[in-house]
A = this chain, B = another copy of it.
Amino acid sequence: MARRSDHSSQQITDMTVSWVQTYLSERCAENLSLRQVAKAIGYSPGTLINHFGSYGMLLLHVNASTLDQLDNAMAQGNVIGRDPGALIINMAKSYLAFAEAHTHAWRLVFEHRLSEHEDIPEWQMKRIDRLFTQLKELLKRVNQAASETELEQNARILWGSVHGITVLAVDDKLFSPVDTPNEQMVETLITHYLSGWCTGSSQKQQGEML
């Protein structure tokens, strides 16, 4: 058999990504394979490799769509006007909730690494950067006197921390004898951290609220 043109290039990409996405809603990525995907969408393995470059690149496209979904989910709770601390907590909770709801897809985003020679495309970096920009803006409102450098640093610390709790929560490695809901953990984390930041030793004055 040969050239078919049943579907456009975009369509193949979409079919692939969306099928993998629904697969990941039930099974984890480790049990998935290029050949399964190929069979599922009715093309040969070779075709998919032609299309995406490699299986790894295919998964990267899946990750892109996951990050879009995540971004979307987090935009929901982010209403303008309320106090920034509460908004940050909202963001974090959305992050956690998304990870717990899309365990396999979410894990794939952070565990998938390309092989040596292929490096992360910038359309992927951009998606990650959106998170920081939002967070930084909120942090600025929390502590208006903070320098750009300080905001940058704190955004990373805060995101990293929430991410850490999320990773462990998703893997059930946070087994607490006293079972506190994970949501409350990120809340406690953020309130304590922000309050410590604003009243902190070598810090400037505080922003609205807190």
Please give the residue numbers on chain A whose beta carbons come within 8 Å of chain B beta carbons, in ascending order: 28, 30, 110-111, 113, 125, 128, 148-149, 152-154, 156-157, 160-169, 171, 173-178, 180, 185, 188-189, 191-197, 199-201
Contacts and interface: CB of A to CB of B under 8 A. Distances in A.
Given A153-B185, A160-B164, A192 B191 contact: no
Main secondary structure of the interface of A (DSSP, over half): helix
Contacts of A192: 192-193, 196-197, 200
Contact of A164 (B165, B171, B195): B165
Contact of A165 (B110, B161, B169, B189): B161
The count of identical subunits is 2
Contacts of A169: 160
B195 A200 contact: yes
A203 to B, nearest CB: 9
Contacts of A171: 110, 113
B111 A173 contact: no
B177 A152 contact: yes
A165 B158 CA distance: 9
A128 B188 CA distance: 23
Contact of A197 (B165, B166, B178, B196): B196
A160 B174 contact: yes
Most chain-B CB neighbours within 10 Å: which of A168, A175, A191, A192?
A192
